[in-house]
Amino acid sequence: MHWHGAPKTLRKAGRSVTLGALVRPAMASQSLFTDKEITDMKYPMVIGLVAATALMAGCRKDAEAPQLDLSSLESKVSYAVGVSVGRNIKNADFDVDQASFKAGLDDALAGAELKVSEEDAQKAFEEFSKQQQEKEEARIAAEAAASAEKSAAFLAEYAQREGVTKTESGLMYKVITAAEGKKPTESDVVTVHYKGTLVDGTEFDSSYTRGQPANFPVGAVIPGWVEAIQLMPVGSKWEVVIPAGLAYGESGAPPSIPPQAALVFEIELLGIGPAPAPEANTNVGQ
> Which sign does the torsion angle of CA 143, 148, 153, 158 carry?
positive
Of the residues 33, 173, 216, 265, only one is catalytic, namely: 265
What is the reported pLDDT for 96? 76
Of the residues 101, 216, 248, 267, only one is catalytic, namely: 248
d(CA 209, CA 214): 12
* Structural contact between residues 178 and 164, judged by C-beta atoms closer than 8 angstroms: no
Is the pLDDT score of 13 beyond 70?
no
In-domain check, residue 84: yes
What is the reported pLDDT for 195? 97
What is the reported pLDDT for 84? 85
What is the reported pLDDT for 64? 59
What is the reported pLDDT for 24? 26
Does 77 share its domain with 158? no
* Structural contact between residues 251 and 7, judged by C-beta atoms closer than 8 angstroms: yes
Across 1-15, 60-74, 166-180, which has the greatest mean pLDDT?
166-180
Does 14 share its domain with 54? no
* Structural contact between residues 256 and 21, judged by C-beta atoms closer than 8 angstroms: yes
Is the pLDDT score of 34 beyond 70?
no
Does 157 share its domain with 87? no
Confidence at 166, pLDDT banded by 50, 70, 90: very high
State pTM to two decimals.
0.62
What is the reported pLDDT for 207? 95
| Residue type, position 89, single letter | I
Is the pLDDT score of 19 beyond 90?
no
- For 88, phi then psi, to 5°, come to -65, -40
Does 249 share its domain with 154? yes
In-domain check, residue 281: no
Q: What integer is the mean pLDDT of 125-139?
A: 89
Q: Where are the alpha helices (DSSP H) in the chain?
A: 35-40, 43-59, 73-91, 98-110, 118-158, 207-210, 223-231
Q: CA end-to-end span of the chain, whole Å?
A: 7
Active-site residue 101, yes or no?
Answer: no
Active-site residue 33, yes or no?
Answer: no
Of the residues 216, 222, 242, 257, only one is catalytic, namely: 222
**Per-residue model confidence as pLDDT tens digits over 179-236:** 999 999 999 999 999 999 999 999 999 999 999 999 999 999 999 999 999 999 999 9
Does 19 share its domain with 60? no
**Per-residue model confidence as pLDDT tens digits over 49-95:** 454 544 444 444 445 556 889 999 999 998 898 788 778 877 777 77
Q: Pick the closest to residue 53 from 101, 20, 11, 8 (CA basis).
A: 101
Active-site residue 222, yes or no?
Answer: yes
Higher-confidence residue: 271 or 43?
271
Active-site residue 229, yes or no?
Answer: no
Length of the chain: 286
In-domain check, residue 2: no
Higher-confidence residue: 275 or 16?
275
Active-site residue 79, yes or no?
Answer: no
Of the residues 101, 204, 216, 242, only one is catalytic, namely: 204
Q: Which domain holds residue 183?
A: 8-24+146-273
Of the residues 33, 101, 173, 205, only one is catalytic, namely: 205
* Structural contact between residues 14 and 3, judged by C-beta atoms closer than 8 angstroms: no
Does 81 share its domain with 153? no
Higher-confidence residue: 267 or 136?
267
Among the candidates 83, 109, 134, a domain finishes at 134
Q: Pick the closest to residue 189 from 171, 209, 214, 206 (CA basis).
A: 214
